[in-house]
Amino acid sequence: MAENQSNANGSLMTYDEHVPEIKFTKLFINGEFVDSVKGSTFETKDPRNGRVVARVAEGDKEDVDLAVNAARQAFDHGPWPRMPGYQKGRIMSKFADLIEENIDELAALDTIDAGKLFSVGKARDIPRAAMLLRYYAGAADKIHGEVLKMSRELHGYTLREPVGVIGHIIPWNFPTGMFFMKVAPALAAGCTMIMKPAEQTPLSALFCAHLAKKAGAPDGVINVVTGFGPTAGAAISSHMDIDMVSFTASTEVGCKVMQAAATSNLKQVSLELGGKSPLIVFDDADLDTATDLALAGVTYNKGEVCVAGSRVYVQEAIYEDFERKLVAKAEAWPVGDPFDPKVQQGPQVDKKQFEKILSYIEHGKREGATLLTGGERLGTEGYYIQPTIFTNVKEDNVIVRDEIFGPVMSLMKFKTTEEVIKRANDTRYGLAAGILTKNIDLANTVSRSIRAGIIWINCYFAFDNDCPYGGYKMRGFGRDFGLDALHKYLQVKSIVTPIYNSPWL
């Protein structure tokens, strides 16, 4: 690929001047960094080269018990749920200030832990995390119920109260962003919590816990237990003293989380799961814009994003021109060290994900799909994969059905609007979709016909703090962002009194 630079040994060039010192590797429980009960640790590796950057405390059931106890004490007896909203908002705003003061370090931690672009972390991911904190800080003193117009001789009103102790389980693709997507609205609601970051990317969550304490969050309000899904994650999902679990990752694991929640204490569940989103390009779309969005839709964050536009449908009149432009842009796409400001795509998060993506590419070849470009590893170390585009695929092909979570696109041709709506909806997921057309009537028709939680018209990845985010079908349920996210961490209590004494009430 033309934009990649290699050393003499064939490995991609690395930029190490931004690599931070790793300061926090222990569990964070009740306001303190502590070793795990068993003293176990695990390695976290730099996906640029596969080298170990730190050993992190490995939490297990006993550690989850300690964290839950701290969160329960903080909820039942501590100040946070009872604190006036404006005071919570002040602490959350201070937390946001500290995030902004440490942008470089947080962005660098996500780069060496997840392979994320350092430039994007500095300019977008970390600043948006601070903005999200401020968004919900502003909502913390605006939580209220309503007076009810009762149909009988009763006076009724509602209260919105925090759910209680929350168990957050987040994935590895947006470590800092996902941390605050869960923590910010839960804090504003008055909840206390246990956060389990993905075992691939524990570093930024521990750093954020340090900043939360520095901002003035009371002990026990935020606890971070690093560890593995089958142990620490399972202990959170099945814990009898956790009131709600908020989970983001695969659909397969989400089903296990829901089952554990149901068979324990029937705790509330919010699931943000897989996706296989369609991008539909009609024949009146601008080709340059469309090919730019299509390529970004599958290479952004190296394709490790649940809303990746991995199924691209192009109307037949412009298909050949679209394919030619798209392939040329993909072959010039800069892949390399994520600290390099010229690079647009870094390494996959770890060896397991890297090998999974390559196995899907081989599966696509075996199923008879045509590989237009890419499909290979880049360099001799690290987990870099070329942007990969298949055509001549069928709707029942594995690469079309499964969420690959990598820079792999299935490019398909369609004739009619009715046809593409049917094909776009032919998926077990229903998270996002993109529609590219200049015809507003067509855009309105298709957007109302696709069963997905968010539809982008003539844009993609257009997120906003005010815009609820979630999906349909096996995508899960519950919404992040907006007031919908705040409300899922609140429950409604109804208060009813008689207007006058009446024996028949």
DSSP E strands in 258-345: the ranges are 268-272, 278-281, 311-315
CA distance linking residue 31 with residue 308, whole number of Å = 37
How many other CB atoms sit within 10 Å of the CB of residue 457?
17
Contacting residues for 210 by C-beta, under 8 A, at least 6 apart: 23, 24, 28, 33
Per-residue confidence of the chain (505 residues) as pLDDT tens digits? 335 555 544 566 677 777 889 999 999 999 999 999 999 999 999 999 999 999 999 999 999 999 999 999 999 999 999 999 999 999 999 999 999 999 999 999 999 999 999 999 999 999 999 999 999 999 999 999 999 999 999 999 999 999 999 999 999 999 999 999 999 999 999 999 999 999 999 999 999 999 999 999 999 999 999 999 999 999 999 999 999 999 999 999 999 999 999 999 999 999 999 999 999 999 999 999 999 999 999 999 999 999 999 999 999 999 999 999 999 999 999 999 999 999 999 999 999 999 999 999 999 999 999 999 999 999 999 999 999 999 999 999 999 999 999 999 999 999 999 999 999 999 999 999 999 999 999 999 999 999 999 999 999 999 999 999 999 999 899 999 999 999 999 999 999 999 876 655 5
Strands 268-272 and 244-248: parallel
Q: Can you list the domains of the chain with their CATH numbers?
A: 27-273+476-491 (3.40.605.10), 278-464 (3.40.309.10)
Q: Which amino acid is at 36?
A: S
List residues with catalytic annotation.
272, 306
The answer to pTM > 0.85 is yes
Q: How, if at all, do strands 268-272 and 384-385 pair?
A: unpaired
User: Using an 8 Å Cβ cutoff, are 106 and 121 in contact?
Assistant: yes
For the record, the structure tokens of 414 come out as 């369609």
